[in-house]
Amino acid sequence: MRMNAIVAGVGMTKFGKHMDRGMKSIGAEAVTAALQDAGLDKSDLEAAYVGNAAAGLVTGQECIRGQVVLRDAGIGRIPVINVENACASASTAFNQASAMVSSGCYDVVLALGVEKLYHEDKRKSFAAFSGAVDVEALVEIKARLAQQAAATGATKAASGAGEKRSMFMDFYAASARAYMEKYGATAEDLAGVSAKNSFHGSLNPRAQFREVLTVEEVLAAPMIAEPLTRPMCSPIGDGAAAVIMISQRKARELGLSNPVRVAASVLRSGWDRAKGEETVAEVCAREAYEEAGVGAQDLSVVELHDASAPAEITTYEKIGLCGDGEGAGLIRDGATKLGGRLPVNTSGGLLRKGHPVGATGIAQIVELTEQLQGRSGDRQVEGATLALAHNGGGSIGSDAAAMCVTILSR
C-alpha cells in the first residue's frame, strides 16, 4: 500500500550491556523519549506495535511481551500487537504501524523495538540466533557450514557454529569467502567497512562501541570465522528504540515544523528463488524506489543491515548503490564514509552502534529521522533530504527469511 504516515517523534536508549536492567526499564526509556520528542502524551496513543525477537529464549517472557513492557510504562487499554520477525522485528513493527496510520485506522501509533540479549549463560544468547533458521534442518545446516569451511581451509569456521558464536556469523563468513573468490574483494576491504563504521560510531553517544579502529587493527583482531575478525561481526546487545507515527491530519493539527514522511515501506519474506532471480532485498529495494518515485541516486544517507562487514558491501549492490561486484570499490574510494557522496551507517551501524536484534530496525529509523531533521551533531550529513533503511532477519535456504526496506523523506 502507499504510505503517507509522519514520524512525529523518536527515542532510543544507548545500546550496550545492561545486565542490571530489564526490558521494562529499557523499553520505557525509549518510549518516554519518543513521546517527549513528539510533544505528545501516552494518553494520545491509539495503538502500539512492539517488536522483540528473543525474550522467550533469553528472559523467559513469552506471549505478552509488549503488554508487559508498556504496562510498566503506564500504557494500557490500547491494542498492543506483538511482532516477532527475527532481526527484522522492529522494522516490521514500524511497517505495520505506518500501514495502519496510512490506511486511516489510527492517528497516533507507537512502534517500539526492545531487546535483552546479554545473559550470564552465553548459550542462551546464541540459541536466540540459532532459532532464526529452520530448526528441523539445524543439524544439516551446521554440517553444511562445517563442510564448506573445511573445503576452503577455514579452520576456525569448521566448528563451533551456534555454540561459540552466533551461527549467522558462519553464514556471513561462507558468503564472504564466495564473494571474495568471485569478485576479488580482499580482507582489507572488509576491514575497511569496520574501520569506517567505527569512525561513525565514535561520533554517536548512543553507540555500544565508540573507539576508532584502523584497518590494521581490525585485521589484527581475533579471528571468529574466516575471514571475519571480531570487529567484522556485530555484537550482541541490549537496547530499545521507539517511534511515534501520526497521520497527516494529526500532523496539521500539531503544526509540525520539520516533519519526516514515510515515502515507502516494503516488507517481504524470502522464497525458493530460481537461479538468477532477484533476491528478497533487491525486490524490496526496487519496490520501495518505485513507491517513493525515487532512485538510489537520489538518496542522501542510508542505514543498512551490516550484521557483518561483508554484508554491508553486498547490500550496496542489492539496494542499487552500485553494480554486482562493485561494492568493495565504494569502501576503497570513501564514497560511503561521512563526507563521501553517500554516507552509509552514520550511526556506526550494527557493527558499532550494536545489534539488540528486536530494536535494530527502529534504531535505523531514529538515526535517519534525526539526519533528515539536521539533529545528528558531529555525524550530520549536510543537506540530507532522502534516506533509506534496510533491515533483514532470519535465514531460510539462500536468502533472508524477512526483509524490510523503508524510505523516509524530509
Separation between Cα atoms, residue 192 and residue 310, nearest integer Å: 10
DSSP-derived letter for residue 327 is: H
- Enclosing domain of residue 333: 6-120+236-409
DSSP-derived letter for residue 44 is: G
The verdict on residue 195 lying in a domain is no
CATH code of the domain containing 296: 3.40.47.10
* Average confidence score pLDDT of the chain: 95
Query: Could you read off the pLDDT of 173-182 as tens digits, one per residue?
Result: 999 999 999 9
Least confident segment among 61-70, 203-212, 268-277, 386-395: 268-277
Which alpha helices (DSSP H) does 203-271 contain, by range? 215-220, 248-254
Separation between Cα atoms, residue 345 and residue 352, nearest integer Å: 9
**Is 87 a known active-site residue?**
yes
pLDDT value, residue 158: 63
The verdict on residue 12 lying in a domain is yes
Least confident segment among 103-112, 142-151, 336-345: 142-151
Separation between Cα atoms, residue 241 and residue 33, nearest integer Å: 9
Least confident segment among 102-111, 250-259, 367-376, 383-392: 250-259
Of residues 327 and 2, more confidently modeled: 327
The verdict on residue 222 lying in a domain is no
* Cell reading at 404: 524490510
Q: Do the Cβ atoms of 161 and 172 come closer than 8 Å?
A: no
* Position 56 pLDDT exceeds 90: yes
DSSP string, 341-375: SS-B-TT-HHHHT---TTTHHHHHHHHHHHHHTT-
The verdict on residue 41 lying in a domain is yes
**Is 305 a known active-site residue?**
no
87, 233, 284, 322: the catalytic one is: 87
What is the rounded average pLDDT of the residues 327-351? 98
18, 119, 355, 390: the catalytic one is: 355
The verdict on residue 91 lying in a domain is yes
Q: Report the domain count for the chain.
A: 1
The verdict on residue 52 lying in a domain is yes
The verdict on residue 125 lying in a domain is no
The verdict on residue 181 lying in a domain is no
Separation between Cα atoms, residue 247 and residue 88, nearest integer Å: 24
